[in-house]
Amino acid sequence: MELIFEKGAKGRGLSILPKNELAPVDFGCHSREKELNLPQMSENELSRHYTQLAKRSRGVNDGFYPLGSCTMKYNPKINESIAGLAGFSKIHPMQSQHTTQGCLKVLKKAEEALCEITGMDGMTFQPAAGAHGEFTGLLLIKAYHLSRGNVGRKKIIVPDSAHGTNPASAVMAGFEVVNIPSTKEGIVDLDALRDAVGEDTAGLMLTNPNTVGIFDKNILEITDIVHEAGGLNYYDGANLNAIMGQVRPGDMGFDVIHLNLHKTFATPHGGGGPGSGPVGCKAFLAEFLPGCQVAGEEELYFEKPKHSVGKVKAFYGNFLVVVKALAYILNLGCDGIAEASQNAVLNANYMAKKLMNLYDIAFEGNWMHEFVMSLEELKKKTGVSAMDIAKGLLDYGIHPPTMYFPLIVHEALMVEPTETESRETLDRAIEVFEKLYDQAQKEPEKLHNAPVSTPVGRPDEVKAARHPILRYSFE
Ligand SMILES: *Cc1c(COP(=O)(O)O)cnc(C)c1O
């Protein structure tokens, strides 16, 4: 497809902006030497260009999209409409607080609702993503230990089934990471945890459900072991839609949590827009939260907590993502929130059970909102890899699952159907997986070339990595 710079012709254009009637300003030596090379095309050429681009991409509106570890993918339209209201979208962060009382109320209500859902007492909306939230939460843990004179608590324990951002965030926050293995069931090895804790333990970071989609049945024992050793418990709640309305991390012994509003609460992950990774904590940690907490009863205002770790982002975080989350929560209500997680878990288990005769499912157990298939055996027998099956799905109009993640499962495909898919959609996807399995036995070479019906077939990944073309050359 031609790029926008290759379309149109010199002098062609569209007139959206009024004519500039001001005299040109001379910037002297800072002036541009050459004309700026901008595309010049008519309105209909431009419109066609973007329509063509849109047709070449695949999104949740095109069909089933079981990408794992991204949780909700369909965002009800009403949330966007509400976030688009001028009173939310046209405000300025420097505006005086008495003119933005409604927005402060949104932050306050969102804090109350999400604290209720997670069992926490305070929350900050400053962090802009999940990993950013992890970093912020770890700063709270660090500040807590230092405030008590515990300078030796430098280690964060991270099970190997944790999300990859967990150890990275711990290092960023200045901790040492202690990795502990999982058991055969894919959950935390309690003996390894007991051996790992000690006087130098700052805390544990637990991704739950973990990256193989399993809820750790020993969760209360795990948090007790860490507390008894003097550490704090951090809950990676990026995938909260498996448990929201069912159980609360705050009731399971966790002191700090982050959420991904852009995964669970009305902003799809990877939607191309801003994210929000709020951090919730128990009351004893609230004095360390980053700047600008909403306070007050009648007249609301921003307040810096007494021993704040400082700001982690400019202003108040990505406010409109919070508006969408609150709209989603209020729209669903208590029952709706619980129902959404039940359906997410039911849909994943329905698919896993239907597919387990053909495909190996990693770690049998209580799958939650997603499950991981291992295609290691299939690859040994037929040569067809996880990549081949994922690409094959595209020819049937299905977006591939997450591939080769988590790393502890070989030839992994991580499938997350989500709560919004109907039984018919799931049945059709199951049928496609069955067909591909069959094809892997009978004509494996065809699958090595899939997809054949998409605008781009199989890109040369090695070339893309070794010789990437990152700039457009006008010559
Ligand atoms: C997605 C995810 C993260 C990271 O969130 P980002 O917003 O992408 O930084 C952390 N933990 C888990 C379990 C996740 O699924």
The answer on 357 and 314 residing in a single domain is: no
User: How far away, in angstroms, is 220 Cα from ligand 1 center?
Assistant: 23
In the chain, % of residues over pLDDT 70:
99
Cβ of 275 less than 6 Å from ligand 1: yes
Asked if pLDDT for residue 407 goes beyond 70, the answer is: yes
The answer on 389 and 312 residing in a single domain is: no
User: How far away, in angstroms, is 89 Cα from ligand 1 center?
Assistant: 26
Q: What is the pLDDT of residue 270?
A: 67
Answer yes or no: is 52 within a domain: no
The answer on 358 and 262 residing in a single domain is: no
Rounded CA separation 138/288 (Å): 11
Q: What is the pLDDT of residue 59?
A: 85
Answer yes or no: is 14 within a domain: no
User: How far away, in angstroms, is 135 Cα from ligand 1 center?
Assistant: 12
Cβ of 161 less than 6 Å from ligand 1: no
Are the C-beta atoms of residues 240 and 259 closer than 8 Å to each other? yes
Task: Give the mutation target among 73, 236, 257, 312 for probing the ligand 1 site: most ligand atoms within 8 A of CB.
Answer: 236
Cβ of 416 less than 6 Å from ligand 1: no
The enclosing domain of 445 has a CATH number of 3.90.1150.10
Least confident of 68-82, 134-148, 341-355: 68-82
Q: What is the pLDDT of residue 271?
A: 65
The answer on 337 and 326 residing in a single domain is: no
The answer on 395 and 267 residing in a single domain is: no
| E strands present in 153-194 | 155-159, 176-180
Nearest-atom number in ligand 1 for the CA of 277 is 7
The answer on 404 and 325 residing in a single domain is: no
Asked if pLDDT for residue 9 goes beyond 80, the answer is: yes
The enclosing domain of 239 has a CATH number of 3.40.640.10
Answer yes or no: is 208 within a domain: yes
How many C-alpha atoms does 86 have within 13 Å on its Cβ side?
A: 0
Q: What is the pLDDT of residue 17?
A: 77
The answer on 264 and 185 residing in a single domain is: yes
Answer yes or no: is 8 within a domain: no
Rounded CA separation 130/465 (Å): 26
Rounded CA separation 148/141 (Å): 11
| E strands present in 315-472 | 360-361, 371-374, 402-403, 412-415
Are the C-beta atoms of residues 232 and 203 closer than 8 Å to each other? yes
Answer yes or no: is 181 within a domain: yes
User: How far away, in angstroms, is 306 Cα from ligand 1 center?
Assistant: 29
Q: What is the pLDDT of residue 75?
A: 87
Cβ of 291 less than 6 Å from ligand 1: no
Domain boundary among 273, 308, 331: 331
The answer on 369 and 237 residing in a single domain is: no
Answer yes or no: is 190 within a domain: yes
The answer on 327 and 395 residing in a single domain is: no
Q: How far is CA 28 from CA 25, 33, 36, in A?
A: 9, 11, 17
Q: Whose CA is nearest to atom 8 of ligand 1?
A: 130
Rounded CA separation 76/468 (Å): 37
- Mean residue pLDDT of the chain comes to 94
User: How far away, in angstroms, is 259 Cα from ligand 1 center?
Assistant: 9
The answer on 373 and 327 residing in a single domain is: no
Q: What is the pLDDT of residue 70?
A: 80
The answer on 325 and 186 residing in a single domain is: yes
pLDDT digits (tens, 9 = 90+) for 142-181: 999 999 999 999 999 999 988 999 999 999 999 999 999 9
Q: What is the pLDDT of residue 171?
A: 98
Cβ of 167 less than 6 Å from ligand 1: no
The answer on 364 and 345 residing in a single domain is: yes
385-389 long-range contacts (CB < 8 A, ≥24 apart) are 385/411, 386/411, 386/412, 386/413, 388/440, 388/444, 388/447, 388/448, 388/450, 389/413, 389/433, 389/436, 389/440, 389/447
Answer yes or no: is 470 within a domain: no
Strands 256-259 and 232-237, bridge-based pairing: parallel
Cβ of 260 less than 6 Å from ligand 1: yes
Domain region containing 451: 62-71+333-462
Averaged pLDDT for residues 288-292: 91
List Cβ neighbours of 284 (8 Å cut-off, separation of 6 or more). 144, 255
Domain boundary among 275, 308, 331: 331
Answer yes or no: is 392 within a domain: yes
User: How far away, in angstroms, is 201 Cα from ligand 1 center?
Assistant: 24
Report the number of distinct structural domains present in the chain.
2
**Paired tokens of 170:** 């711990």
Centroid of chain to Cα 323: 17
Domain boundary among 312, 331, 350: 331
Nearest-atom number in ligand 1 for the CA of 132 is 9
User: How far away, in angstroms, is 131 Cα from ligand 1 center?
Assistant: 6
